[in-house]
Amino acid sequence: MLTRLFTFLIVSTSILVCTPTIAEHLITDSNGQRTLAGVPQRVAVLNWDLAEQVIELGVAPVAMPGIKDYQKWVVKPALPEGVVDIGTRVEPNYELLATLKPDVIFIASPQKDLTDRLSKIAPVLLYQTYSEKHDNAEATLQNFRKIAQVLGKEKVAEEKLAFLNQQLDALKQKLDVAFPGQKPKVTTFRFASETSVYIYGKNSIPEHVLQLLGFENAMPQPATQWGVTQKVMTDLRQIGNGIALYFLPFNERANVERSVVWKAMPFVRNKKVASIESTWSYGGAMSLLYNAEALSESLLRVANAQ
């Protein structure tokens, strides 16, 4: 009897030692390494670039802010059905978010001050993509891989990035044909008003993409957190013989195009200007592709007008 009992205790102890508990999930965010209880299934995102990253990995977020504005300004990737709008990026509806019972909440730099309150709802992971202290384009790729690791989607991420590089090469080949020889310089911007613009310079997604496609900036600007510098519209004369591309939407577009100042711009007189379809230039990894596609389409229109 004692022998059987002793054997039972040894076997039972061995089973307890060998049987793993629910594995902790080691992940990395912008604050470093930490552990989660497991791979999260219900994900809330509080910034649009993070919403992009999650959706591109095949995960539908349970909640995100500013859905109508996302659909106007960001457009791609399209939002899956059922995502709940929880207010704005800096003032989310905490009560509504709590009822959705997320397993994890992804935030970016605009939400850092909300961390303590959000942490009462679910673990909070910070992914800072845009900063004057690093290369923003590279950060989109790094954070894409980090988020993929959190969600158990590493293979999907690598497939997406391979597709991204493949498509960038294909777009460059098209533009090499459209602009043989030395390519013209190109400046991209958004209208801030009817008299001022945000010009994309160093550390911006549009300039990075244009460089990958073989184009230099006609109006170089210093690196900033978001890669933009505000200028009065008359400064656009500095583009000279280069190409000017501006992002939509812009509600006062018709007013600007009728103005004497706009009509006097060298790129307008030389038909070296085009709009860019709504594309988010502060997005995630695949926004590099969406920017490249939109910029290429605009550049091809300019080439065909020459």
Cα-based angle 53, 275, 219 (whole degrees, multiple of 5) = 85
pLDDT at residue 22, rounded to an integer: 53
Using an 8 Å Cβ cutoff, are 49 and 282 in contact?
yes
How many CA atoms are closer than 13 Å to the CA of 57, on its beta-carbon side?
Answer: 28
Task: Give the CATH fold of the 161-305 domain.
Answer: Rossmann fold (3.40.50)
The tokens describing 168, both together, are 């960038």
CATH superfamily of domain region 21-153: Nitrogenase molybdenum iron protein domain (3.40.50.1980)
Using an 8 Å Cβ cutoff, are 192 and 247 in contact?
no
Q: How many CB atoms lie within 10 A of CB 154?
A: 13
Each of the 306 residues of the chain gets a pLDDT tens digit; together they read 444 544 444 444 444 444 444 568 999 999 999 999 999 999 999 999 999 999 999 999 999 999 999 999 999 999 999 999 999 999 999 999 999 999 999 999 999 999 999 999 999 999 999 999 999 999 999 999 999 999 999 999 999 999 999 999 999 999 999 999 999 999 999 999 999 999 999 999 999 999 999 999 999 999 999 999 999 999 999 999 999 999 999 999 999 999 999 999 999 999 999 999 999 999 999 999 999 999 999 999 999 998
- Residues paired with residue 85 on neighbouring β-strands, in sequence order: 64
Using an 8 Å Cβ cutoff, are 213 and 235 in contact?
no
Chain region(s) in the chain for CATH 3.40.50.1980: 21-153, 161-305
82: left (phi over 0), alpha (psi -120 to 50) or beta: left
pLDDT at residue 101, rounded to an integer: 98
- Residues paired with residue 197 on neighbouring β-strands, in sequence order: 191, 231
Q: Write down the pTM of the prediction.
A: 0.90
